[in-house]
């Protein structure tokens, strides 16, 4: 089972940028599709972006498309989430997740699509 550790969260003003990183253990990182989820207080955990092992396809939630970019480097066992033009509504705990195989987008329950999770990193966007 792959193990995931997120970093890069913090406090930023609206309109600013942050880059989240997720470091994965193991030698077979390239077989895993990776994703970023987020959970705001009192809300469900939602899929933000996903990327398959080869780098394509990618998926973005409508709320972040055009502002966030997911990328990965299989040699470094790392996936990133570049977040630009941040809004207060982006405030949440962001989680990295992994699953074997290609990922074409969420099924009815996106959380159940992924079996490995990191501990989360807090992102706070002030207005």
What gap in Å lies between CA 125 and CA 10, rounded to an integer? 8
Closest CA to 64 of 39, 90, 43, 44: 90
pLDDT score, position 109: 86
Please give the average per-residue pLDDT across 108-122, as a whole number.
93
23-78 pLDDT per residue, tens: 999 879 999 999 999 999 999 999 999 999 999 999 999 999 999 999 999 999 99
Q: Cα separation of 19 and 35, whole Å?
A: 14
- Cβ atoms < 10 Å from Cβ of 19: 13
Structure tokens at 29: 């990182």
Residue 54 pLDDT: 93
Express each pLDDT in 70-97 by its tens digit: 999 999 999 999 999 999 999 999 999 9
Q: What is the pLDDT of residue 107?
A: 85
Tokens of 26: 């193991």
Looking up tokens 């329950």 gives 109
Q: Is the omega angle on the peptide bond into residue 47 within 30 degrees of 0, that is, cis?
A: no
Q: Tell me which residue of 34, 7, 4, 36 sits closest to 19, measured CA to CA.
A: 7
């Amino acid at each position: 089972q792959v193990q995931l550790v997120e970093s890069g969260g913090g406090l930023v003003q609206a309109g600013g940028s942050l880059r989240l990183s997720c470091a994965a253990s193991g030698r077979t990182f390239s077989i895993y599709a990776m994703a970023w989820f987020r959970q705001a207080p009192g809300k469900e955990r939602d899929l933000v972006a996903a990327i398959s092992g080869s780098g394509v396809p990618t998926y973005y939630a409508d709320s972040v498309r055009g502002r966030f970019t997911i990328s990965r480097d299989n040699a470094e066992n790392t996936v990133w989430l570049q977040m630009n033009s941040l809004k207060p509504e982006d405030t949440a705990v962001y989680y990295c997740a992994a699953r074997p195989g290609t990922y074409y987008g969420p099924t009815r329950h996106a959380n159940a699509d992924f079996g490995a999770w990191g501990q989360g990193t807090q992102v706070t966007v002030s207005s």
